[in-house]
Amino acid sequence: MLASNRFQVNLLIIGKKIISGRAFYLFSSGLFALIVYIWVKDSINTAIKFFLLLFPHLFLFTSSDMMKDEIENGSLENIIFINGEFKNYLFQKNIVHYVLAMLISLVSFLILVVCGLITGNFSTGCLSQFLAGALIGAYYVSLSGWLSFYFKGGSNVMIVIIAQLASLIVLFLSATEKAGFIDQLEKGSFPTLAAKLKFLGVVLVFPSILSANRYLPYCFLAAVLACFFLALQWQKLRNLELKKQ
């Protein structure tokens, strides 16, 4: 099979599996319902703000069960995955998961933009925040894909969500501090190496913070981290051998 045809087959298989997954529909419909509710109860401007904060999580939920489940259930022993083709197939999952989530996010964002323009409640600053969210989405997919080598059944996604909730609790409990790292977070300025490393730790756990206007100059961190976890994935795949079921 030609490489181009094999790639198309892989994309078709991956796309069907994503669309048939419950997490894909549950989070997509839940996000849409929440945005519409906020729009009705408040305004289109508030709805856009919430969308920009939450839509990167669509990439996360779409990328559940990427690796371990499929590696262990024996489906990769099919003849179409001979000669190590299963490694390319698994790695290409990152592309399909990202593109599908991006298409849904882009269509949703364009609808909100049009409605915002009609009502006169649209700010061009939202465009840069959406692009930041797209980078955050790439990080989510690569991180979730790497975690899915070790956890299955959607546990990779749950680990990220639990870590985010824990980090929010820690930040909330530290909010009473008048100086220090919390103050630096509020200003978006990290003058020392220690402060920069702490901020990187926050980004690792809660990357959506980068979509805030004061953190937009740090959006490159999402791209760097995405490349880092993609490299870890590829290294893992290079050494992966399927066990006979």
Residue 118 in tokens: 């009609």
Across 13-44, b (16+ Cβ under 10 Å) vs e yields bbeebbeeeebbeebbeebeeebeebbeeeeb
Domain residue spans in the chain?
A: 3-238
Residue 94 in tokens: 């990152």
Digit-by-digit pLDDT tens for the chain (245 residues) are 555 566 777 777 777 777 666 666 777 788 888 888 888 888 888 888 889 988 998 898 888 878 877 777 766 766 666 666 788 888 888 988 898 889 889 998 998 888 888 877 777 778 889 999 999 999 999 999 999 888 877 788 888 889 888 888 877 776 655 556 777 777 777 878 888 888 888 889 889 888 888 888 889 999 999 999 999 999 998 887 766 55
DSSP single-letter state for residue 74: S
Is the entire prediction scored with pTM above 0.85?
A: yes
d(CA 230, CA 168): 26
Ramachandran quadrant class, 243 (left: phi over 0; alpha: psi -120 to 50; beta: rest) = beta
Alpha helices in 120-192 (DSSP H): 125-147, 155-173, 181-187
DSSP single-letter state for residue 244: P
DSSP single-letter state for residue 60: H
Three-state secondary-structure class, residue 123: coil
Residue whose token pair is 């069907």: 16
